[in-house]
Chains A and B, each alone.
Chain A
Amino acid sequence: MKPVVELKNLSKTIGKKKIIDNVNLVAYPGTITGFLGPNGAGKTTTIRMMVGLMKRTSGDVIIDGVSLNDNFEESLSKVGVIVENPEMYKFMSGYKNLVHFARMHKGVTKERITEVVNQVGMQNRIHEKVSTYSLGMRQRLGLAQALLHRPKFLILDEPTNGLDPAGIREFRHYLRQIAETEGVSVFVSSHMLSEIELMCDRIAVIQNGKLIDIREMSDTKDSFYYIEATPEDTAKQLLVNEGFTAEPLKNGLLINAEQHQIPGIVETFIAKGLQVFAVQPHRKTLEDEFLEMTGGGQIAESYTK
């Protein structure tokens, strides 16, 4: 599949500090890519460099085959953006806000504006002033302005900041729908792991300005089992002999075993006279993996080169 977006050796230096260091990343049509990282890792900076809010120190962004460095206007015309909470002109109606942004793109008709308004379910209140809207409605309006020009690439920076659980769920549903029905490539940054886990097909993890991991969420995960048996030392010895890696977890052991190996293990334990209290599948959450990858609560700013 041909990627919609390619980040090529993207770097940003402020003063002497390298904020973003040689980031390479691709995003494909119809998929939602999550962009994860601890606070201060460079998520927002990377996104702002992709949409022209910040200058790139070096590197380039290719959007649908057009370089942002060479042809800013054409390249960016394929992109829809929501940066954090979409701030609208509060003194105007939602509709006028959309007209305002539509005029800045080529070929957005009145019919298209109406279509998008219906799509995000705002038709009843679109002619009221934005200052009367709730945060959820502003978020919907934000989505509407990003979709006006039928972008091939949608970038969202912390889009669910401040939304309640129902709002987040609704938002997730919209994004899924857009990606699947219109083949839009969606790029979402967030530090809310559960949200990313539910929403994304792929995740890219950034830390201290470097991309440290890219993975598919659909990857069959390594299967883990939690076993509690006494005496623990003997159990561990047995497992290691069988060729498993056994890590202690709570009162028992965590082993990387497949489902079909489990009855054999239990039989061995019983035969050797061990007392088995629990055997259960263990699923590592994204949170565990994320903390593993980024080394816990380390704050990026304190990391100096």
Chain B
Amino acid sequence: MLNLIRNEWMKLWNKKSTWIMVGILILLTGGMMGIMKFIDVQNGKSTAFGNGAIEVSGKPDWKGSLQEELGFVEAQLAHDSLSKSERLDLEGQAKVLEYRLANDVEPISPFSKEGMIMNPSSLGGTVLLLTVIVAAGIVASEFSQGTIKMLLTRPVKRWKILTSKFLTVNLFGILLMVIGFIVYIVLSMILFKSGAGQELTWNGKEVVEVSIWSKSLYMLLLSFGNVFVITTFAFTIGSVFRSSSLAIGLSLFIYFSGSMVSALLARYEIAKYLLFTHMDLTQFETGMKLVEDITMPFSLAVLAVYMVIFLIISYTTFVKRDITA
């Protein structure tokens, strides 16, 4: 199996397009950071003109906005219709907000160095786009090049070959994630100034400090969930229909329009069982859930079921197929 993966890896990196993809990833990540910096500078200017003091831009009113947020959370808590998990979640938020106000602990500004480091999930989209291209083509291209007949007349069972391809796609996704993350962190360090805030969380008993690095890696892991789901889908379509363009098209369509479908159907029970509702795992950290009463374990379970279905389809068609081309 190791040899098969080495083969796939070799084929992948002998294509120019793979290297171009890495270049694109670095450029897009850099560009994204540049835009963030630009917005930050523009914001800084407008506040600076208003207050006349650059170094304290936007600072005086953080307590006020936290007070407002606390009020909002408490209003929500007053409702009886909340589910158990939602209630726990909101109570945690309230505790953190109270702690901040009582002990004068400032939240991390999203435009500070720490704020940027803490949320690298924007990488997910770029990595996803590029990994989908590889996932869609890794089986389909063997058919279009005609090399499939060379590949399958070896003393290696077909399921092993497909597994090596699937693992290679995921390794590639992870590698892009790591490269993107390094670029992201380096640019965050260079472009953004350090802030004074501290990240806090409620662990059920007390408010504790959270290291920005563990939070950062956790967000990275969650955003990889999306990459994994969509690339598995692309891999399945690519191996079933042997067309990489169809696979890329469908996957990206699902990625972009899926959340809209979920949002439209959010009122109905069925939305809870749609793949789209659960693809984005970062929704549990940011609190912007597509459907109100879903939890992380539930989402993971639904995703697992979908993944198993995709892979079963992919494996059965690949193993049974008569190679005639």
**Which A residues are within 8 Å of any B CB, using their own CB?**
48, 51-55, 72-77, 79, 81, 83, 85-92, 96, 99-101, 103-106, 145
Contacts and interface: CB of A to CB of B under 8 A. Distances in A.
Contact of A104 (B10, B15, B145, B154): B154
Contacts of A86: 150
A51 B14 CA distance: 28
A53 B147 contact: no
18 contacts: A48-B322, A51-B153, A54-B324, A55-B322, A76-B154, A76-B155, A79-B153, A79-B155, A83-B149, A91-B15, A92-B10, A92-B14, A96-B14, A100-B11, A101-B154, A103-B4, A104-B4, A104-B156
Most-contacted residue by chain B among A52, A86, A96, A104 (CB, 10 A)? A104
Given A53-B149, A91-B16, A100-B7, 17 more contacts: A48-B323, A55-B322, A72-B155, A72-B157, A76-B154, A77-B155, A79-B155, A83-B150, A86-B150, A88-B150, A96-B10, A96-B14, A99-B10, A103-B4, A104-B3, A104-B155, A105-B155
The range of chain B's interface size is: 20 to 34
A56 to B, nearest CB: 10
Nearest to A106: B155
A53 B14 contact: no
Given A54-B322, A89-B145, A103-B6, A73 B14 contact: no
B320 interface: yes
Q: Is the interface of A mostly helix, strand, loop or mixed?
A: loop
Contacts of B152: 52-53
B11 A92 contact: yes
Contact of A73 (B147, B153, B157, B323): B157
B146 interface: yes
Contacts of B7: 100, 103-104
A79 B152 CA distance: 12
A126 to B, nearest CB: 15
| 8 closest Cβ pairs, A-B complex | A87-B146, A77-B155, A104-B154, A103-B3, A53-B323, A81-B153, A76-B155, A54-B322
A165 to B, nearest CB: 25
B147 A88 contact: yes
B149 A87 contact: yes
Contacts of B154: 76, 101, 104-105
Nearest to A85: B146
Interface in B143-196: 145-147, 149-157
Contacts of A99: 10
A91 B14 contact: yes
Contacts of A100: 7, 10-11
Nearest to A77: B155
Contacts of A96: 10, 14
Contacts of B149: 53, 83, 87
B153 A76 contact: yes
Contacts of B150: 81, 83, 86-88, 101, 145
B18 to A, nearest CB: 10
